């Protein structure tokens, strides 16, 4: 896939993601992020050119979820820099799937318990399903346990990001 197409749909890609998903030679990355104690070279869409490092990395991980799930860009709306819900309950992306509107959330493991439970409850009521991407396998059990405690109608699907 072309780098420009991926940036148009996802906003950001790390250099490692680009190596996985882009065919052909890559240009120099646009900038280096400083996140999680690491230096991460990234490619950026113009919309995220001035965004802070945390938002850019988050966009890159949400885009990675789209690609892993094999969701066409036309069926995916990522919030990235266009958030309109200031309650903090808007998902990172919405997937318009055959099952309906699916809330997509990337959790780097820093959300406190009350934030995770609020999102789980909101997505259960407002969407036809929810998918969470996490960085560590241990976080899967944590989110699943909270979902069980809440007695959700539609428990989330949880994946571990590479």
Do residues 100 and 134 share a domain?
yes
Each residue's pLDDT, cut to its tens digit, for the chain (162 residues) gives 899 999 999 999 999 999 999 998 999 999 999 988 889 999 999 999 999 999 999 999 999 999 999 999 999 999 875 555 557 789 999 999 999 999 999 998 888 999 999 999 999 999 999 999 998 888 899 999 999 999 998 889 888 765
75, 98, 132 - which closes a domain: 75
- Residue 82: its pLDDT value, please? 54
Residue 50 CB coordination number (10 Å)? 10
Do residues 1 and 68 share a domain?
yes
- Residue 2: its pLDDT value, please? 92
- Residue 162: its pLDDT value, please? 54
75, 110, 127 - which closes a domain: 75
Domain boundaries, position 44: 1-75
35, 50, 75 - which closes a domain: 75
Phi, psi of 154 (to 5 degrees): -130, 90
How many domains are contained in the chain? Answer: 2
SS3 (DSSP) at 150: helix
Spell 125-141 as b/e; 16+ CB within 10 A means b.
Answer: eebebbbbbbbeeebee
- Residue 85: its pLDDT value, please? 58
- Residue 147: its pLDDT value, please? 94
């Amino acid at each position: 896939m072309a780098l420009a197409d991926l940036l148009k749909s996802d906003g950001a890609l790390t250099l490692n993601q680009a190596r996985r998903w882009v065919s052909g030679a890559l240009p120099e990355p646009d900038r280096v992020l400083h996140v999680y104690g690491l230096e991460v070279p990234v490619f950026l869409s113009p919309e995220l050119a001035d965004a802070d490092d945390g938002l850019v990395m988050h966009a890159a991980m949400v885009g990675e979820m789209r690609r892993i799930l094999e969701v066409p860009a036309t069926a995916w709306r990522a919030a990235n820099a266009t958030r309109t819900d200031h309650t903090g309950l808007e998902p990172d992306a919405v997937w318009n799937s055959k099952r309906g509107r699916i809330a997509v959330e990337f959790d780097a493991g820093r959300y406190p318990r009350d934030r995770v439970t609020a999102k789980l409850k909101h997505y259960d009521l407002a969407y036809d399903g929810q998918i969470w991407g996490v960085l560590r396998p241990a976080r899967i059990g944590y989110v699943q346990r909270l979902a069980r405690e809440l007695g959700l109608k539609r428990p989330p699907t949880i994946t571990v990001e590479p």
